Amino acid sequence: MTIIETVVLLQEELSKYRDTGKTIGFVPTMGALHEGHATLVKQCVRENDVTVVSVFVNPTQFNNPDDLRLYPRTPEKDWQLLESIGADIVFAPTVEEMYPEPDSRQFDFGGLAQVMEGAFRSGHFNGVAQVVSKLFEYVQPHVAYFGEKDFQQLAIVKKMVQQLKLPVKVMGVPTVREANGLAMSSRNQRLSDAERENASAIYRILRESTSLMSQKSPNQISSWVKEAINNVTGLRVEYFAIADAYSLQPISNWKEADEVIGCTAVYCGDVRLIDNIRYK
Ligand code: PAF
């Protein structure tokens, strides 16, 4: 496994593979890797000749400076994990390498970016699009893998690829969970054992809510979920929305959309967690 810090060296290394017609798979990450990332990387290794993983904590997607400062960073552990599961190239640039000058690009994803995470984390998806478009330009992958835990991010990356007409296939990979149901996230490292236990209620409640569909409207289920989560010690719901899984616009009637997703952000202490569940 080769660890590369500059765009020039990355492209030099990748051209060897490209020239011999190898397929390049890509997993963008912010490091502090866990089993969820490992699942993305393993799938990438299985499906491509070469696997590139980027590890870069992207400052432009953080709207809260404390969240950026406290974001876990575990490079040595990350390299070990990536080597053990067969990644070929790790791209770990500095902030200066990725942003030699400020990125002033403004993306417009319409309604997709105005709800849920977009409504509560101003500028977040613009920052994600800035970094992912740069990474796609540098790596030029055939396929890129993203976790479905960040459901809205996945929708936005797909939209960006469509808007910029990039020749990359974006693959969503199902959320990996702890034994107690908690969605794996780098932020879980900041939870105490007791908080992890409390946070496991999020997915339990989301699952339970799917069984209420025949009795309750989307709005009634939303109120039920928010109340149930807020009643768990240490948890506070920031939002819960039931939406069309394609447009991400809220629905008020189950018949309004063929595919329906419920997405939430919940504070557990001062750690912000997100999760989602399919209703249909
Ligand atoms: O999901 C993440 O870890 C990040 O948002 C991503 C896609 C690596 C961009 O920084």
Q: What is the mean pLDDT of residues 130-140?
A: 98
- What rounded mean pLDDT belongs to the chain? 97
Confidence (pLDDT) at 75: 97
Atom number of ligand 1 nearest to Cα 57: 10
Distance 147 CA to ligand 1 centre (A): 9
**CA 192 to chain CA mean position, Å:** 22
Give the pLDDT band (50/70/90) at residue 4. very high
Give the pLDDT band (50/70/90) at residue 244. very high
Q: What is the mean pLDDT of residues 44-59?
A: 98
Residue 161 lies in a domain: yes
Residue 93 lies in a domain: yes
Same domain, residue pair 91 and 137: yes
Number of domains in the chain: 2
Query: Which of 148, 173, 198 lies at the terminal end of a domain, its last residue?
Result: 173
Confidence (pLDDT) at 34: 95
Q: What's the rounded Cα separation, in Å, for the pair 201 and 232?
A: 7
- Tell me the residue range of the domain where 269 lies: 186-278
Same domain, residue pair 165 and 76: yes
Confidence (pLDDT) at 213: 97
Residue 181 lies in a domain: no
Query: Which of 140, 173, 206 lies at the terminal end of a domain, its last residue?
Result: 173
Q: Which two tokens stand for residue 23?
A: 């397929």
Same domain, residue pair 227 and 90: no
Give the pLDDT band (50/70/90) at residue 76. very high
Query: Which of 151, 173, 195 lies at the terminal end of a domain, its last residue?
Result: 173
Confidence (pLDDT) at 162: 98
Give the pLDDT band (50/70/90) at residue 144. very high
Same domain, residue pair 243 and 110: no
Q: How many CB atoms lie within 10 A of CB 191?
A: 19
Same domain, residue pair 169 and 200: no
Residue 128 lies in a domain: yes
Residue 34: which CATH number? 3.40.50.620
Same domain, residue pair 191 and 247: yes
Residues contacting ligand 1 via CB (< 6 Å): 28-30, 58, 61, 128, 131-132, 150, 153
Residue among 41, 128, 171 whose CB has most ligand 1 atoms within 8 A, to mutate: 128
Apex 124 CA angle, 81 and 263, nearest 5 = 80
Confidence (pLDDT) at 253: 97
**Atom 6 of ligand 1, nearest CA residue:** 29
**Atom 5 of ligand 1, nearest CA residue:** 128
Q: What residues are annotated to the active site? A: 37
Same domain, residue pair 118 and 58: yes
Residue 178 lies in a domain: no
**Atom 2 of ligand 1, nearest CA residue:** 29
Same domain, residue pair 70 and 102: yes
Burial letters 131-168, b for 16+ CB under 10 A, else e: bbbbbbebbbbbbbbbbbbbbbbbbbbbbbbeeeebeb
Same domain, residue pair 158 and 214: no
**Atom 8 of ligand 1, nearest CA residue:** 29
Confidence (pLDDT) at 105: 98
Residue 29 lies in a domain: yes
Residue 221 lies in a domain: yes
Residue 251: which CATH number? 3.30.1300.10
Same domain, residue pair 105 and 241: no
**Structure confidence by residue, pLDDT tens digits, 166-183:** 999 999 999 999 999 999
155 touches 148 (CB < 8 A): no
Residue 180 lies in a domain: no
